[in-house]
């Protein structure tokens, strides 16, 4: 819909959830019930006034007044220059829908009363009289949904008031411009007239007047536009109401209706926004930045939102309205330049910056307008920021004494740290690479991918697993799905506060904006700079920290953790009681994880080691073996290789413990399922292809997830367990300080663990005897434990703990079996489930506390009852998800384990969990670091 | 091994568990620990004496003395004529294995002491002297394992004692015969000399002497045999010990070793015998039934074991040993004829029969020997019986005042009732059919199947799903696997107590034995009677109640429940508190179930209705539909058909409730997966085969068990739920008194049920309005509930109960997900699991109380907490398994539901559960029967 109503301020709010707050606890109860509850308690007050240094609302009333309304009230109470107005509550929106798109009878008189109050405060009359009051009507939910809902400006103009306005302002062109803008916005937003029809009418006038830009139209031209617009209304059989109160009522309807437009619903789903009552409506006296050169408008952040540096940061345009900055026709100037145009207002703005930060104790982003030398604040809210900025702002504010250590820790969204950990371009390679284009460093980081020119294509290719860079002249809210799918964005137009830049920072993706040399042809699907033409699908690399663009792929390196990031991690470690380990299968990954702060390995998947190189041949020989003798011969060739793997991992860990899981996947994963592969395997094995095919067929399972895998393999083929145990034990002897923890997978019955444990114990005894003969008397510490990933395992944890020295919760499988969802198959209907609110989140991403969480709680309680010192951890992918980590903390686990790049995320999330729900520290024994 | 040692008595003990006892509660704790416990408490007494009207043991000491030993002790104490002896305990066997096949030092002196006691009581000297004492050495565990372990008879004979024996007995032939038997048995059983070598040696002597049968050999011949046997020992480099004490020690070793021979291990697995310490060894003075015409041997049941009729029943042979009866050379005579040969002994036997029944309060089977006019009892134990006999004996004994009503109920193994419910031949068809052969009505019932001539083939064909009749000249313990696989047995030789007959009655299979006209050629694989030749694979029908055999297939009919069976069912209904419903999908099956006492339907699988005839076309159209319109059109054609199904079922139920489960299986089950089928479907749908193939491919799932099925279908395609709801509601309106219970499958989250429930409620309201317009004002009662079959569903039962009026536990899926076992894939490794004792039973057959049972307990408790009057049942296949039914009773369910033929089983099992663990009756509301 109308891009014109997409103001800078709303643009800047774009992104996912508020980074400076903990994720909102969406109420688990039926929203209908929670509302009933609230409605019953409070009298039906639907409208809250603000202005004149007073307010009926305050910042804490976000749920009721929306973020915008609550902060306007707060600023007003603080004595900041806020145009007066009133907020119609979110409860009204809720009631509107409940009553079948009708209003409670109390609403109209309350609005009337507040209009009278506003008239009295401003000395103006609403939509008429000698000094007509014009208002803006803006949406504003408790959680920002920028550009998703409707806004109407300049409301109150009509054929009569424009005359008065012209007289009063002495600026006829401005008034006609405002009128035509209002008519278009109203027709488009409120009366559903095709936006296109207005554009066509406007173009005709421009053509007739031989001007190129809207701004080139003079008073006469704008008057023609108004005339033409009236015809558009007529053709659409809609009437433009001259009565301001009618204009207002229809606009309020439109805003409330826009709460449930398709775009808004989709946005809430995408951003996991739930449990809200609806949007509020803010009706506020209009102030104009476009009445002349003593007017202007701008947006600013109290600190740099990309780097966090404590410096006022923003852009402004003189004689302009918000949308002019976005339109990209005039280039906004840096905020520091404002002092040249209006030193008084600039000084006042600096004071407000300081006051707001002290008041809100957080970095703010603000929107302001200067009307004839008077500064007005139109918005404030906590500013979206990159992860780097969030970290720096938190550390700085703590040092400045604005916030406490604990608050600093809680100010950073753990998930966002991901951004800081992702690879950067290799400096050497980047230095020698040819720069293809340069633009603004709009959102830091590096990205390499294939060029796509549309959001649609970005989604499509991403679904196929291709990394894509979205290349657009500029981006708009409609592109949001494709932006989510892309690794990064390159735009030819737009500044540091353009849509692409803001979204990129919010999403933690890298972005180069406003690369003006880039010539983009959507039809031909080409990106041209000079004579170089790149096509759709070509590779490109962009550096959002430098603003540089390269044709082709650039190699990347891991980032280093220094400065504020290092500081916040140290704070997190100081506070958390939950240990953090990592899931790795190679010495290289292990080294990365240790650098990121991993205190050991929580999961090494030994089967990954069987795929590498020639090993798969031995593995297949093992599978093909007719008897134990053949199997043992094949396993004998795997033993030294596996031992070498473990030695490498133990060395990388430098004395930290490693939990090693024995063979888990069904054997059919190791054999080829296609004819060619089977023929090749037959050749390598020296048998006929029929033998291979028969074997592969015999390994087929209807539900392999619930089939012959995990410890069921080791029980059926004890020689596999023997080999793996020997590899671990011999490796542990070979590396001084090695701490091995052998983990038996898929245990649902203590008998399974007892069976496998005995084999391991026998091997330990054998190796010990062999080593003693060689003079190695000191045995390495080896623990034996199990995965808890079968519901039955959790339910019988008391029995299993008799044999297990540790449990590691395999929450992936526990979710599959506990909820009955095949991970490979449930994608389609799980999406629908989340849409319908049956599950709050995809249970494979965020741990299902209600079901899977119960199994974990039961197992923790029963396990500790049998063996009070049992070590408890989690190694499912939930171990890297902050919400799930909070659960692990609350339920009393000793550690979480996650992928190397998630380790810092987990450290921070664990600290936040401890701050929000303190637990005694004694449960955790941190491993000694060297 | 040696068939000669397979006595009549052991033969008659053959079968599964004891029918007159509840299944033994096998200790769940580690057997090693339980033993330690016992060993610590008791002094090491390894040998128990019996004889002379006194005993150190008694019947209750089965676990320690084995069944045989305990009852010999008991009979001895009762003053019955039992040859004196002593029992070496099962604990000794256990100690023997624990000490690495060595004995505790206390054993040898204890044996010596008991031999002296025996010598003193009998006035004989063991293996020497003027009156040599000969003994038998027999195995005997707490649970009968006939023919599985070793036995040695005539022990104490040597080159010296035979001379004394000849002198004393004046029967040289008898002594030589005993000696050669002993030598063969000892060589075979104790010294592991090839049985074949003895046979060859014997055959050579027979050939030289030109005789056909062993019995035709005269004294000289037998002397030659002994000589030849000595050569066999020499060739095998084994020495035959002349010292009786050495013979005894080696024999005891052999018996204890036989506890763990492959056959015995297999037998224990097959019969689910666990937790035993080992076998006892019974050493008993030999008595001989083959010393002359004033000698004899026989077996008898105190009542008829096939019919239960209260009449002494058995067979005997004069001048014979037990194995002579089996050998089939001489035909045994009915027990009533004994009075002709030895009236005194016969009278004495009748008195013993009466005394034993009164003492044991159960039908007994006994083994006896008459030595020179003196009766000796060699064994007594509760007699195996057919289900019909078990029922009749229980009812009769109750009427006779021998046992109480509750005892009568507990005397019948619920599982065995199955036998009484299986089809009989249609009387008309049988009357007009030509009888192919006749034999003894050895085990009642009717069976039709394809002829196989070997146990091996029987197993092989059964695995392929073919019904087989095992046809053998005679059967032997080695055939046990094939007998288990066959529907029935036909033998050419053997009487009512032959191996085949006894096994058949124990297994509840039908058997025609000793059909002498049958000529069986194993090589040619033919069964010939006169000129008719039947080949392997030909169909045959046998009637075990009449002893008739027919070539070809005969039609069968359902049995009627009358007489004692009806009486025991009435008693069961009087006592049980657990309701019994049935799982049926058709009116016909429903009618059968109602006749068997079903109180309603616990599960109707609606998907079965979609496969029939043309319906599959509509179903496939529905699946192929691109949008809701197409889907609804296809569903519209299914609606009247499904409604008709429900009307039929409601009518058959006559006012009893029906739980109707909505569509459950994944849609791919409704489409063809082969090329030809897809081509056909394409033709029927009027689309290209590619469209069908693509659709089928798109429906593919990696783990369909955990995929898009159950309520996930109805949530994704609400129109399916709408159609099914409408069919149920309209059908309920159409049948007066109909009680519908709509069941939503696979609910793991209350949101799923809420979603589907709303659709159903909407349909109910719609139909109600439509019916009201037609003047039908009285709405039928319709309940809405859910399956609990996902672990998460059980764990969140408190939430789900907010929406559900009833729960039905789907224990098949609950086992799959709770234990992580795919039913289709786990067969292979689950078998190993049961062998290893990780699970006591296949958890798909007997409910896994430790895991799945916990989920049920949790759900019951939570469900009732939310909704105290929630109705709770089970509809998994466990609902027909007595052990699982006991659990359902204990955990407080309202009813179980099972297949029609299992309904009587469930009624009886429920009564037994109540008797063993009384529960208040109020929980059950029995449905009104008309």
Digit-coded pLDDT (tens) for B141-168? 999 887 777 889 999 999 999 999 999 8
The Cα of B741 is separated from the nearest Cα of chain A by a number of Å equal to: 24
- The residue in chain B having the minimum alpha-carbon distance to the alpha carbon of residue A789 is B820
CB contact (8 A) between residue A712 and residue B818: no
The Cα of A838 is separated from the nearest Cα of chain B by a number of Å equal to: 5
Tokens 């932006």 identify what position?
Answer: A483
Give the Å distances, CA to CA, from B425 to B422, B428, B538, B592, B869. 10, 9, 18, 17, 46
CA dihedral A294, A300, A302, A306 (to 10 degrees): -150
Give A795's contacts in chain B (Cβ within 8 Å): 818, 850-851, 854-855
Give A822's contacts in chain B (Cβ within 8 Å): 701-707
pLDDT for residue A506? 67
pLDDT for residue A274? 82
Could you give phi then psi for residue A53, rounded to 5 degrees? 75, 5
A69 pLDDT above the threshold of 50: yes
Is residue B310 within 8 A of residue B395, CB to CB? The reply is no
Give the Å distances, CA to CA, from A692 to A671, A682, B189. 9, 6, 45
With bands split at pLDDT 50, 70 and 90, how would you rate the model's confidence at B37? very low
With bands split at pLDDT 50, 70 and 90, how would you rate the model's confidence at B17? very low
A683-690 average pLDDT score: 90
Residue A54 CA, chain-centre distance (Å), reads 36
CB contact (8 A) between residue A826 and residue B705: no
Max mean pLDDT among A138-152, B361-375, B605-619 falls in B361-375
Catalytic residue positions of A?
A: 499, 875
A41 pLDDT above the threshold of 60: no
Digit-coded pLDDT (tens) for A568-580? 999 999 999 999 9
Apex A141 CA angle, A136 and A145, nearest 5: 90
DSSP letter string over A668-722? GGGS--SHHHHHHHHHHHTS-HHHHHHHHHHH--SSGGGSS-THHHHHH-HHHHH
B626 pLDDT above the threshold of 50: yes
pLDDT for residue B835? 83
3-state secondary structure of A731: helix
Question: β-pairing, B579-583 with A548-551?
Answer: unpaired
Helices A718-734 and A628-653, axial angle in degrees (round to 10) = 30
pLDDT for residue B827? 82
A806-830 average pLDDT score: 93
B653-674 average pLDDT score: 94
3-state secondary structure of B122: helix
Residue A370: how many CA atoms within 13 Å on its side-chain side?
26
B355-382 average pLDDT score: 95
A230 pLDDT above the threshold of 70: yes
Digit-coded pLDDT (tens) for B414-439? 988 877 876 788 878 888 899 999 98
B722-749 average pLDDT score: 97
Give B716's contacts in chain A (Cβ within 8 Å): 828-829, 832
pLDDT mean across residues, chain B: 89
A703 pLDDT above the threshold of 90: yes
> Which of A274, A746, A791 should one mutate to test binding to chain B, selecting the residue with the greatest count of B CBs within 10 A?
A791
Strand partners, A650: none
Digit-coded pLDDT (tens) for B510-526? 899 989 889 999 999 99
CB contact (8 A) between residue A851 and residue B792: yes
CB contact (8 A) between residue A818 and residue B746: no
What value of ipTM does the predicted structure carry? 0.80
The Cα of B606 is separated from the nearest Cα of chain A by a number of Å equal to: 21
pLDDT for residue B329? 64
Note the pTM of the prediction, 2 decimals: 0.81
Give A816's contacts in chain B (Cβ within 8 Å): 703, 706
CB contact (8 A) between residue B829 and residue A749: no
pLDDT for residue A331? 77
CB contact (8 A) between residue A706 and residue B826: yes
Digit-coded pLDDT (tens) for A729-748? 999 999 999 999 999 999 99
A923 pLDDT above the threshold of 60: no
> Which of B720, B758, B789, B792 should one mutate to test binding to chain A, selecting the residue with the greatest count of A CBs within 10 A?
B792
Reference B13, options B367, B251, B489, B415; nearest CA is B367
From B707, B796, B836, residue closest to A851, measured CB to CB:
B796
With bands split at pLDDT 50, 70 and 90, how would you rate the model's confidence at B546? confident
From B817, B824, B825, residue closest to A817, measured CB to CB:
B817
With bands split at pLDDT 50, 70 and 90, how would you rate the model's confidence at B723? very high
Digit-coded pLDDT (tens) for B901-917? 889 999 999 999 999 99
pLDDT for residue A49? 97
pLDDT for residue A328? 58
Max mean pLDDT among A66-80, B558-572, B688-702 falls in A66-80
Q: Where are the beta strands (DSSP E) in B121-263?
A: 125-126, 132-133, 135-141, 151-155
Is residue B883 within 8 A of residue B415, CB to CB? The reply is no
Strand partners, A242: none
Reference A604, options A620, A590, A625; nearest CA is A590
3-state secondary structure of B488: strand
A223-229 average pLDDT score: 96
Q: What are the residue ranges of helices labelled H in A310-454?
A: 322-327, 338-341, 343-360, 387-399, 405-410, 418-421, 427-432
pLDDT for residue A17? 31
CB contact (8 A) between residue B706 and residue A825: yes
From A703, A848, A850, residue closest to B822, measured CB to CB:
A703
pLDDT for residue A42? 53
A493 pLDDT above the threshold of 90: no
B385-413 average pLDDT score: 95
With bands split at pLDDT 50, 70 and 90, how would you rate the model's confidence at B387? confident
CB contact (8 A) between residue A832 and residue B707: no
The Cα of B839 is separated from the nearest Cα of chain A by a number of Å equal to: 8
CB contact (8 A) between residue B706 and residue A746: no
With bands split at pLDDT 50, 70 and 90, how would you rate the model's confidence at A140? very high
pLDDT for residue A9? 34
Give A832's contacts in chain B (Cβ within 8 Å): 715-716
The Cα of B702 is separated from the nearest Cα of chain A by a number of Å equal to: 7
CB contact (8 A) between residue A701 and residue B824: yes
Q: Where are the beta strands (DSSP E) in A121-252?
A: 125-126, 132-133, 135-141, 151-155
> Which of A810, A813, A820, A848 should one mutate to test binding to chain B, selecting the residue with the greatest count of B CBs within 10 A?
A820
B13 pLDDT above the threshold of 60: no
Give B715's contacts in chain A (Cβ within 8 Å): 829, 832-833, 836, 838
pLDDT for residue B327? 59
pLDDT for residue B930? 37
A181 pLDDT above the threshold of 70: yes
Tokens 């006469």 identify what position?
Answer: A220
Distance CA B670, CA A283 (A): 59
A19 pLDDT above the threshold of 60: no
Distance CA A9, CA A2 (A): 16
CB contact (8 A) between residue B818 and residue A817: yes
Reference B583, options B744, B808, B418; nearest CA is B808
Give the Å distances, CA to CA, from A296 to A228, A324, A497. 29, 11, 17
Q: Which residues, including other chains, have CB under 8 Å from residue B523's CB and lie 6 or more apart?
A: none
CB contact (8 A) between residue B751 and residue A839: yes
Catalytic residue positions of B?
A: 499, 875
A854-862 average pLDDT score: 98
State the maximum Cα–Cα separation within chain A, in Å, rounded to a whole number: 107
Give B819's contacts in chain A (Cβ within 8 Å): 748-749, 790-792
Q: Which residues, including other chains, have CB under 8 Å from residue B401's CB and lie 6 or more apart?
A: none
pLDDT mean across residues, chain A: 89
Distance CA A1, CA A192 (A): 10
Reference A480, options A254, A260, A255, A262; nearest CA is A262
Digit-coded pLDDT (tens) for B302-319? 999 888 999 999 999 999
Give B854's contacts in chain A (Cβ within 8 Å): 795-796
Is residue B590 within 8 A of residue B601, CB to CB? The reply is yes
Distance CA B369, CA B318 (A): 9
């Amino acid at each position: 819909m109308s891009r014109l109503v997409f103001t800078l301020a709303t643009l800047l709010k774009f992104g996912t959830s508020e980074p400076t707050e903990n994720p909102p606890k969406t109420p688990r109860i039926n929203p209908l019930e929670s509302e009933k509850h609230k409605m019953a308690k409070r009298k039906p007050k639907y409208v809250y006034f603000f202005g004149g240094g007073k307010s009926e609302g305050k910042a804490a009333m976000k749920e009721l007044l929306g973020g915008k309304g609550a902060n306007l009230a707060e600023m007003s109470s603080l004595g900041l220059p806020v145009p007066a107005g009133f907020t119609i509550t979110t409860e009204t929106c809720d009631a509107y829908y409940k009553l079948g798109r009708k209003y409670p009878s109390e609403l109209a008189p309350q609005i009337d009363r507040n209009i009278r109050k506003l008239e009295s405060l401003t000395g103006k009359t609403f939509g008429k009289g000698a000094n007509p009051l014009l208002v803006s009507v803006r949406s504003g939910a408790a959680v920002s949904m920028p550009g998703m809902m409707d806004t109407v400006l300049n409301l109150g103009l009509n054929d009569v008031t424009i005359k008065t306005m012209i007289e009063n302002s002495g600026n006829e062109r401005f008034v006609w411009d405002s009128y035509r803008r209002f008519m278009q916005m109203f027709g488009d937003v409120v009366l559903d007239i095709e936006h296109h029809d207005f554009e066509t009418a406007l173009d005709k006038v421009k053509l007739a007047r031989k001007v190129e830009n809207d701004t080139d139209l003079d008073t006469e031209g704008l008057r023609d536009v108004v005339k033409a617009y009236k015809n558009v209304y007529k053709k659409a059989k809609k009437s433009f109401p001259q009565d301001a109160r009618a204009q207002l009522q229809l606009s309020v309807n439109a805003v409330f209706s826009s709460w449930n437009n398709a775009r808004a619903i989709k946005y809430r789903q995408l951003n996991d926004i739930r449990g809200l009552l609806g949007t509020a409506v803010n009706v506020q006296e209009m102030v104009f930045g476009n009445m002349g050169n003593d007017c202007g408008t701008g947006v600013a952040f109290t600190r740099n939102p990309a780097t966090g540096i404590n410096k006022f940061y923003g852009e402004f345009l003189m004689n302009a309205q918000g949308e002019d900055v976005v339109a990209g026709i005039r280039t906004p100037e840096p905020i520091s330049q404002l002092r040249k145009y209006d030193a008084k207002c600039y000084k006042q703005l600096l004071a407000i910056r300081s006051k707001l930060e002290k008041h809100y104790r957080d970095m703010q982003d603000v929107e302001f307008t200067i009307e004839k030398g008077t500064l007005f604040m139109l918005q404030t809210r906590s500013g979206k920021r990159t992860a780097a900025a969030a970290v720096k702002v938190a550390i700085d504010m703590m040092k400045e004494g604005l916030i406490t250590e604990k608050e600093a820790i809680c100010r950073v969204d753990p998930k966002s740290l991901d951004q800081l950990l992702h690879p950067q371009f290799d400096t050497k390679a980047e230095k020698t690479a040819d720069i293809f284009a340069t633009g603004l460093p709009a959102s830091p980081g590096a990205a390499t991918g294939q060029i796509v020119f549309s959001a649609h294509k970005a989604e499509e290719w991403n679904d196929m697993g291709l990394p894509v860079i979205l290349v657009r002249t500029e981006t708009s809210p409609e592109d949001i799905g494709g932006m989510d799918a892309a690794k990064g964005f390159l735009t030819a137009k737009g500044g540091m506060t353009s849509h692409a830049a803001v979204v990129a920072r919010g999403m933690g993706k890298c972005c180069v904006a406003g690369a003006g040399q880039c010539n983009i042809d959507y039809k031909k699907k080409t990106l041209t700079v000079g004579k170089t033409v790149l096509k759709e699908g070509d590779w490109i690399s962009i550096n959002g920290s430098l603003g540089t663009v390269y044709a082709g792929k650039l190699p990347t390196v891991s980032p280093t953790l220094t400065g504020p990031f290092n500081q916040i991690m140290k704070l997190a470690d100081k506070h958390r009681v939950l240990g953090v380990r990592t899931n790795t299968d190679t010495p290289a990954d292990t080294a990365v994880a240790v650098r990121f702060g991993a205190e050991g390995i929580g999961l090494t998947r030994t089967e990954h080691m069987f795929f590498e190189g020639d090993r798969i041949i031995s593995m297949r020989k093992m599978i093909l073996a007719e008897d134990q003798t053949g199997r043992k011969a094949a396993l004998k060739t795997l033993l030294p290789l596996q031992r070498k793997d473990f030695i490498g991992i133990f060395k990388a860990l430098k004395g930290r413990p490693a939990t090693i899981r024995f063979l888990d996947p069904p054997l059919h994963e190791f054999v080829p399922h296609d004819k060619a592969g089977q023929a090749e395997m037959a050749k390598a094995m020296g048998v006929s292809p029929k033998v291979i095919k028969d074997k592969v067929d015999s390994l087929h399972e209807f539900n392999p997830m619930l089939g012959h895998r995990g410890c069921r393999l080791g029980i059926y083929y004890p020689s596999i367990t023997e080999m793996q145990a020997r590899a671990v034990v011999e490796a542990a002897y070979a590396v001084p300080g090695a701490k091995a923890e052998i983990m038996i997978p898929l245990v649902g019955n203590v008998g399974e663990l007892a069976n496998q444990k005995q084999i391991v114990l026998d091997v330990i005894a054998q190796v010990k005897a062999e080593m003693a003969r060689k003079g190695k008397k000191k045995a390495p510490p080896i623990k034996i434990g199990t995965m808890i990933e079968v519901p039955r395992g959790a339910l019988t944890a008391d029995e299993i703990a008799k044999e297990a020295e540790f449990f590691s919760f395999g929450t992936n499988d526990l979710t599959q079996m506990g909820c009955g969802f095949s991970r490979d198959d449930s994608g389609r209907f799980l999406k629908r489930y989340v849409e319908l609110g049956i599950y709050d989140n995809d249970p494979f991403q965020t741990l299902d506390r209600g079901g899977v969480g119960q199994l974990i709680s039961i197992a923790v309680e029963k396990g500790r009852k049998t063996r009070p010192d049992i070590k408890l951890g989690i190694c499912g992918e939930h171990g890297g998800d902050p919400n799930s980590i909070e659960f692990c903390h609350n339920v009393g686990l000793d550690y979480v384990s996650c992928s190397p790049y998630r380790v810092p995320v987990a450290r921070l999330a664990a600290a936040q969990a401890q701050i929000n729900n303190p637990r005694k520290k004694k449960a955790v024994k941190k491993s000694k670091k060297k």
